[in-house]
Structure 1
Amino acid sequence: MQAKGVNERLIAQNQRLIQHLNSGQHTQSEVRQLVSEITGQELDESVEIRLPFYSDYGRNLKIGKQVYINSNVMMVDLGGITIEDQVLIGPGAYLVSVNHQLAADKRHDLDLNPVHIGKNAWLGARSVILPGVHVGENAIVGAGAVVTKNVPANTIVAGVPAKIIRTLASNEEDV
């Protein structure tokens, strides 16, 4: 059920690191160091990640500066996830870049489709971002929303499936 070219040894190593990350008390500096080992990317000191934190692969996860990831967030990043600067991710959110094929005889084959979260976006608690979705700059995804299509910049989406409920004016303060 793995995608071609996936390094099983790397997955096993990263799963051990994630288990270590989630099984003890760590300072934010230690959390960033462990997540840096998992992603293969040094995280900026402005990044804050609340535990527990989960990932299925780790190496296809790119995290910008001033990013806040709340607890119980799952990153299914085998297909790639990019999180730009100043993003807020609420507790229990799922970012999923992997799907299974629809044909019954190929159901165990994976389709990889990257997720991209634009600068200053906010993903509400328990929101789900599905494969191939781009959440635009300054966009807000409401709590519990299931996002199946791209979210334009400066919009609020909510619901299942998520739909645009409002467009934000630039520098809007009262949401």
Structure 2
Amino acid sequence: MTTSEFLEYMNSGRQVTAENDVHQAMHRLSQDAIRITMEINSRYHTPEEINALMSELVGEPVEVGLFPPFNTDCGKNIHLGKGVFINSGCKFQDQGGIYIGDGALIGHNTVLATLNHGLLPEERHDLIPKPIHIGKNVWIGSNSTILPGVTIGDNAVIGAGSVVTKNIPENMIAVGCPAKVIRSILDQTQI
């Protein structure tokens, strides 16, 4: 299975049964991602070197700010806009697709998870991919977790330590576990 065939399958949202061709391709891509992220994380790199390694990881040219360490278990289904900043300790599980808009800020130790497992015991090793969409100029606070299928609208702010289980509209501040919208960023009366 080629990388493009793998991505087409994963982006369809269909369940991945354990040990099929898609699952095997996932393991192959994981090894490549481990190799590249180990290089990113093993020693100092200039910003230009980081961008070259991240471009190799995602399979297309990118210009991002990244403070290592950074981990992902695939890499090929990460889509980064211009001016994205990823702080240290972030973990991206991108098989289901991660789309990050221009100017987004991803805080320390953020986890973006795009896979669920089947709930039935006989399907527990199966994987269910769902993409994460993060809009332009979103700020995700440190130690947050964004779960499969979530969309965060442009300019939204996610408070530190939040677990985002549902979509967050644009221009909103959401905090907590599970994250709940507390107000608009445009409401200056509560500042």
State the TM-score, normalized to the length of structure 1. Answer: 0.92
Summarize the alignment of residues 24-173 of structure 1 with structure 2, pairs less than 5 Å apart.
24-44=43-63, 47-169=64-186
Change (3 A) 1:26 1:145: same
CA root-mean-square deviation: 1.6
Cα separation, 2, equivalents of 1:127 and 1:2? 31
* Identity within the alignment, %: 44
Change (3 A) 1:3 1:89: farther
Is the Cα contact below 8 Å between 1:22 and 1:53 reproduced in 2?
yes
What residue identity is the alignment partner of 2:100?
I
Cα separation, 1, equivalents of 2:20 and 2:55? 23
What residue identity is the alignment partner of 1:26?
H
Is the Cα contact below 8 Å between 1:3 and 1:110 reproduced in 2?
no
Determine which of 3, 8, 11 is the counterpart of 2:30. Answer: 11
What residue identity is the alignment partner of 2:45?
H
Gaps of 5+ in 2: 1-17
Gaps of 5+ in 1: none
SS, match of residue 157 in structure 1: strand
Shift of 1:10: 2.7
Is the Cα contact below 8 Å between 1:2 and 1:110 reproduced in 2?
no
SS, match of residue 5 in structure 1: helix
Shift of 1:114: 0.2
State the TM-score, normalized to the length of structure 2. Answer: 0.85
Cα separation, 2, equivalents of 1:14 and 1:157? 31
Shift of 1:71: 0.2
Q: Which has the higher helix share?
A: 2
Change (3 A) 1:3 1:140: farther
Cα separation, 2, equivalents of 1:81 and 1:4? 22
Q: 51-60 or 7-16: which moved more?
A: 7-16
What residue identity is the alignment partner of 1:77?
D
